[in-house]
């Protein structure tokens, strides 16, 4: 039995999570996974109504009573400082120590890429984004607020332990998935303290993986190369903020935000799955959000939970939908969120 908590959240979050839930239920009906699903109300609406972002009670339940969390998205203009989103999403990442943010980028159909790919091999790489340090810890201060001499400081934190565990994870992944190269994205030329540590640790860890090429690139050049020769990349490991930026770029190379899944994990302990995209306020309520990123996130969930057959079936059903043109407008179709979700769920159920 896999115990799954849903946090649909804000904007298109509930719209895409509804379809992901439908697909999970189809897996259960088809005997591909044994799931128990419970929905949590946390998001902007709940915060505005109760003053509660993520209650301690919910946190403890999410931590102790579930194997996996599926989050839609958080972010709402009625909460301009984004406080609830930080407490819920970053709160769970930090408090559950979900140090791996795994963001795969695979081109599922050549026509989905905005690039001209005639001379390329398929795009198929993964990003390991460090998820608990960097510029995201909130460390910093405002001095002399509102005065001419105002100064804002946000501290980037890198610890040897924090860097080593994500770098090792990236190399382990490469080794167990037949990948031949791990690329570090950093900015050691301009930010020597933090990224100097990243480079040293990366080089040290690499010596334990002699069969894998260890490649270090400044992130600006890496971004350029991702567009120019995306097929060169296999596994990218990088810091929190750089990984955030690179993963939106990566998503766009393979069809866009509507297709990009992710997993935030503390291996063997806790996991939170979510589409890479946000609450997409510009299209929320129009029924046009692409549910595939959320659905593919459930495939990552099922695979990590040991339900490989269910994961395969979900991925195959998404591929079949793409092939058959069952697509939302972001990828050139005219189907609604619900129609795409229904089609995929039926395919998974084998109807």
Distance of CA 75 to the CA centre of its chain: 16
342 binds, among Mn ion, ligand NAD, ligand IPM, none (CB under 5 to 8 A by kind): none
SS3 sequence of 304-334:
HCCCHHHHHHHHHHHHHHHHHCCCCHHHCCC
105 touches which of ligand IPM, ligand NAD, Mn ion, none (CB within 5 to 8 A by kind)? none
136 is catalytic: yes
* CA gap 256, 248 in Å, rounded: 8
Binding to ligand IPM by CB under 6 A, coded x per residue (else -) over 249-278, reads ---------------------------x-x
Please identify, using beta-carbon distances, which residue of 89 and 205 lies nearer to ligand IPM: 89
SS3 162: helix
Stretch that binds ligand IPM, among 39-47, 57-65, 84-92, 218-226 (CB under 6 A): 84-92
Q: Which is nearer to ligand NAD, 110 or 285 (CB)?
A: 285
Q: Is 178 exposed, middle or buried (0-12, 13-18, 19+ CB in 10 A)?
A: exposed
State in angstroms the smallest separation of the CB of 260 from ligand NAD. Answer: 9
Taking the C-alpha atoms of residue 320 and residue 107, their distance in angstroms, rounded to an integer, is: 14
Q: Is 133 in the site for ligand IPM (CB under 6 A)?
A: no
Rg (CA), the chain: 20
Distance in angstroms between the alpha carbons of the first and the last residue of the chain: 24
283 binds, among ligand IPM, Mn ion, ligand NAD, none (CB under 5 to 8 A by kind): ligand NAD
- Contact set with ligand IPM (CB under 6 A): 75, 85, 89-90, 244, 276, 278
Instruction: Please identify every residue annotated as catalytic.
Output: 136, 187, 220, 244, 248
- Contact set with Mn ion (CB under 5 A): 244
């Amino acid at each position: 039995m896999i115990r799954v908590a849903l946090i649909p959240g804000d904007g298109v979050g509930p719209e895409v999570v509804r379809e992901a839930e439908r697909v999970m239920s189809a897996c259960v009906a088809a005997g591909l996974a044994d799931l128990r699903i419970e929905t949590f109300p946390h998001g902007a609406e709940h915060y505005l109504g109760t003053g509660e972002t993520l209650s301690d009670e919910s946190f403890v339940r999410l931590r102790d009573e579930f194997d996996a969390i599926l989050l839609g998205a958080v972010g709402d203009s009625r909460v301009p400082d984004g406080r609830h989103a930080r407490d819920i999403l970053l709160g769970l990442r930090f408090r559950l120590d979900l140090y791996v943010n795994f963001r795969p980028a695979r081109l599922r159909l050549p026509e989905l890429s905005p690039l001209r790919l005639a001379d390329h091999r398929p795009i198929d790489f993964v990003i390991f984004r460090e998820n608990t340090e960097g510029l995201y810890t909130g460390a910093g201060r405002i001095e002399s607020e509102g005065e001419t001499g105002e100064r804002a400081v946000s501290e980037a934190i890198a610890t040897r332990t924090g860097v080593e565990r994500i770098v090792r994870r990236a190399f382990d992944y490469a080794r167990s998935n037949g990948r031949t190269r791990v690329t570090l994205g950093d900015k050691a030329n301009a930010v020597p303290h933090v990224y100097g540590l990243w480079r040293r640790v990366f080089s040290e860890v690499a010596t334990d993986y002699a069969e894998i090429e260890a490649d270090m690139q400044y992130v600006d050049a890496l971004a350029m190369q991702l567009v120019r020769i995306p097929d060169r990349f296999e596994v990218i490991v990088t810091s929190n903020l750089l990984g955030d930026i690179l993963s939106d770029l990566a998503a766009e190379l393979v069809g866009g935000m509507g297709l990009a899944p992710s997993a935030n994990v503390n291996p063997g302990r806790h996991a939170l799955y979510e589409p890479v995209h946000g609450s997409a306020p510009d299209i929320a309520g129009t029924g046009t959000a692409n549910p595939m990123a959320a659905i593919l996130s459930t495939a990552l969930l099922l695979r990590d939970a040991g339900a490989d057959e269910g994961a395969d079936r979900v991925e195959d059903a998404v591929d079949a939908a793409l092939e058959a043109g069952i697509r939302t407008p972001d990828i050139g179709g005219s189907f609604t969120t619900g129609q795409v979700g229904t089609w995929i769920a039926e395919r998974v159920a084998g109807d």
